[in-house]
Amino acid sequence: MNLQFAPPIAFAILLLLPFTFGSQFLVNLAMLTAMSAFIGQAWNIAGGFGGLTSFGHTVFFGIGAYTAAILATRYGISAWFALPLAALLGAATGAVIGFASFRAGLRGSYFALVTLAFAEAFRVLATASEFTRGGQGINVPLALGLANFQFADRRATYVVIVMLLLLSMATAAWLRRSRFGARLMAVRENEDAAAALGIDIVRTKTAAFALSGGLAALGGVVYCQTYLFVDPLIAFGVERSVEMLLVAMIGGAGTIWGPVLGALALHLVADTARSYISTPGFAPMLYGIMLLVIVGLLPGGIASLSFASLAGRMRRA
């Protein structure tokens, strides 16, 4: 049997599932899962393919969310225009943070700490600034309708998120095939060797970080349009950053399907468990255990369990 098409078919069925039943719970769960997969893939573009492990990727998500909220409340501009603007601002911020860090030669945990510091700085700024309405956050007035990018039916929002998810997966697929992607992975594997073969390391990493930031910012716009509220903790809190990298690493960093698998694992397993056990702090603990198990037993993530190897195991069993 040809298993090559099994993952896309399973994926398509999964994507269509929320439309088959009238369950609002299922639609919500699918929406959250697709959103996690999308921002996880955005992180994965830099963190997985480029090895640029950011701990503060919510900076971009937050910029996107605030862009939509500020455009709507201060200037009365539709959130559709927030999409390109947020992508641009996210990419520009990524380029600035990336260029500064990479030029200074920051790598690994040092880079992770710098990104974390940037996210915290943005949170403090958003809390202090009048422009972002400080700690009380911004309420976006309810004005349902396609023109305002606000949907009464959650399934419409879900469709938008799925399109973004597909866009991010297409970007990952492009990285797998293109010269830029090959160079990015070479830089991840060995910077000295990459430089010796003519690759501009700072430029390659900066471009990847900007691309990743632009994508993540789109997630923030959709978040704002769904919940019609942004505050500094939602936008720049550390939980979102952790969610992004967790989804990518559990699923399989540097792969096209990893973030989808990671988001499914995180939401189906963790959220289900959470509904039974309501002890505070249980969910983060469970996330931590999942990450430990993955890092210890399956460093390539769930995606490294290929269909072929699964089939092989079943035959042997």
Partner 1 sequence: MLEVTGLSKRFGGLQAVRDVSLSVPEGSITALIGPNGAGKTTTFAMIAGFIRPDAGHVRFLGHDVTAMRPDRIAALGMVRTFQITQPFAGLSVMENIRIGAFLRDASPAAAETHARAIGTRLGLGPVLDRPAAGLTVAARKRLEVARALATQPKLLLLDEVMAGLNPSELGEIIAMIRQVRDGGVTILLIEHIMAAVAALAEDVHVLAEGAMIARGTPREVAENPRVVEAYLGHGAAERMARHA
Binding site for partner 1 (CB under 8 A): 177-179, 182-183, 185-186, 188-190, 192-201
CA distance readout (Å), 47 to 44, 115, 179, 253: 5, 12, 18, 7
Nearer to partner 1, 30 or 211 (CB): 211
Name the minimum Å distance from CB 170 to partner 1: 16
Residue 198 or 281: which CB sits closer to partner 1? 198
Element containing residue 154 per DSSP (H, E): helix 154-177
**Minimum distance between the CB of residue 252 and partner 1, rounded to whole angstroms?**
13
Which helix (H) or strand (E) is 230 found in, with range? Answer: strand 229-230
* Beta-carbon-side half-sphere exposure of residue 184 (alpha carbons within 13 Å): 28
Question: Coil, strand, or helix at residue 93?
Answer: helix
Asked if 158 and 27 touch (Cβ cutoff 8 Å), the reply is yes
For the CB of residue 239, give the shortest distance to partner 1 in the complex, in Å: 30
Round to whole Å and give the CA distance between 33 and 265.
9
Q: Rank residues 159 and 201 by Cβ distance to partner 1 and give the closer one.
A: 201
Tell me whether residue 48 or residue 64 sits nearer to partner 1 (CB atom): 48
Closest separation in Å from C-beta 51 to partner 1:
10
Structural tokens at position 285: 């603990």
Other C-beta atoms closer than 10 Å to the C-beta of 216 total 36
Nearer to partner 1 (CB atom), residue 193 or residue 310: 193
Q: ∠ at Cα 34 (276, 158), nearest 5°?
A: 105
- Of 29 and 201, which CB lies nearer to partner 1 in the complex structure? 201
**243, 39 Cβ separation under 8 angstroms:** yes
Q: Least distance to partner 1 from the beta carbon of 46, Å?
A: 16
Residues forming a β-bridge with 145: 150
Contact between residue 206 and residue 103 where contact means Cβ atoms under 8 Å apart: no
User: By the 8 A CB rule, do 55 and 234 touch?
Assistant: no
For partner 1, give the closer residue by CB, 4 or 275: 4
Closest separation in Å from C-beta 160 to partner 1: 32
The smaller minimum CB distance to partner 1, of residues 114 and 253, is found at: 253
- Count Cβ neighbours within 10 Å for each residue of 67-81 and write b for 16 or more, e otherwise: bbbbbbeeeeebbeb
The least CB distance from residue 188 to partner 1, in Å, is 8
Q: Cβ 189 to partner 1, closest distance in Å?
A: 4
